Structure formats: C-alpha cells, structure tokens
Amino acid sequence: MKLSRLVPNFLPVNTILVPQGAEYKAVCRGLSGITASIPKVVAIPVGMKPLLKYLQQGQFLTPKSRVLIMGICGSLSDRYTVGDLVLYQDCVYQGKQQECDRTFTAQLHSYISEKVSLVKSLTSDRVIWSASEKRRLSETLVADVVDMEGFTALEFFNAAGVSVAMLRVVSDDCQHNIPDLTPAINSDGSLNPFPLAIAMLRQPFAATRLIRGSLTALKVLEQVTNLLFSGSSNK
C-alpha cells in the first residue's frame, strides 16, 4: 500500500500512544530522521486492564492536549483486509460506546488523501482469533474492526477532556483464524515469549498468516507515521 499526497504541516499532536513491542518500534522508525517537531511517543501496555492502570498512573497529559493512538487491529468485516488503513469513529465494549473527537478525526481524515476508511471498532479484553467469531461480532455489534485498547483509552481521555483520534492498520482479516494469543499476554500487558511460541507452534499455518499480515501492517504503520509528521507531499 503506497501512501502519498498528504498536505504538509500536519495538525498539532502532543502525544502518540502505541502498543509496546513491534507497533511501537514501527512508529519510532517512521519518525526517525524527521527534522520537524515531532510528538512524544509513548509505549502502552496491551489489553484493557493493564492500559487503564498505566493511564491512571501517568501524568504526561493535560486537558486540551491532543493524543493520536496508533497501532494495528483485526478486521471483522470483508470490507477491510490486511494493510488497510482505518480511522476510528468510535469504540464499543459490552454495550457501551465512546466516541473519538469528531473535529480531530475529521481533520486527520482530510489530511490523508489516500484511501483511509472511517470505521466503528470493538474493544475486546481477549484476542478474537476465530474467523467465525469475528463475523458473528460484526453482524451482532455492527463493528468493522477489533482491538484491545481503544474503548479504555477513549473512556479515560474523554473524561479528562483530552482530544483523541485513533489511526490503525489491519493486520488480520475475518476469513482466517489466527493463533489464540490471549494466554501469552501477561497481567501487566506485556507478551510472554514462551506461551507465545507455544500458541504459534500449535497452529503453524495460522501463525504464518498472522506473521505475514503483521509485517505488512507494520510497514504501512511506519509509512503513514513518516508521512504524517514529515510534512512531505507527493501530489
């Protein structure tokens, strides 16, 4: 996926929050070499409870600041496949809904002139690994993508008066199973290498597909980060 034709001088963002590990590294690579002023990049834990605990301890944000949450997500719909760039409108969790900042989201959407889709997201407290469950959730909740942090972040920041937009890249589709990585996520939101390896080995074909999809998504994540903050434009 080639991203181009962004308007120079991207709107101000105080902080980028991105899940720790490969996603964080991809965003940092995208920002490397940029001479313009760039936002602070913060690696956050994976999962709802670890993220909430982390946010409650943090003191790096003030009201009226603007936070861009970036990372990868899973598709729940045939409309979105690996490598697609999605911009969240809102997140749902157990019948509750939190909206992203409309003005911030609209500005971000207008700055990306390549294809980026506005989507509705589901936040889950576990990995949604089954293709059949993905399709069922899409139908019952009318959600397009799924992640493990969105709702928690929005609930926290909306209450604090902080403007939030979420930009993610699809890493796995709704047509195939991926390994169930839930047991590999520690209580602090980090990944445990041994259970992770076991989960991947138990489903080698699904693991290979997930790795390929993740590498594709991470590359797009790196590219869009660079283009957003470098102010480059290929019209």
Confidence of residue 2 (pLDDT cuts 50, 70, 90): low
CA dihedral 166, 170, 175, 181 (to 10 degrees): -90
Q: How far apart are CA 163 and CA 98, in angstroms?
A: 12
Query: Checking DSSP bridges between strand 85-93 and strand 96-99, what pairing results, if any?
Result: antiparallel
Task: List the structure tokens of 179.
Answer: 């390994």
Please write the tens of the pLDDT for every residue from 3-44.
544 444 456 788 999 999 999 999 999 999 888 788 999 999
Give, for 159, the enclosing helix (H) or strand (E): helix 150-160
What span, in angstroms and rounded, lies between the C-alpha atoms of 153 and 155? 6
Model confidence, pTM: 0.90
| Cβ contact 23:221 at 8 Å | yes
What is the tens place of the pLDDT at every residue in 86-136? 999 999 999 999 999 999 999 999 888 667 999 999 999 999 999 999 999
Are the beta carbons of 114 and 5 closer than 8 angstroms? yes
pLDDT tens for residues 210-232? 999 999 999 999 999 998 888 65
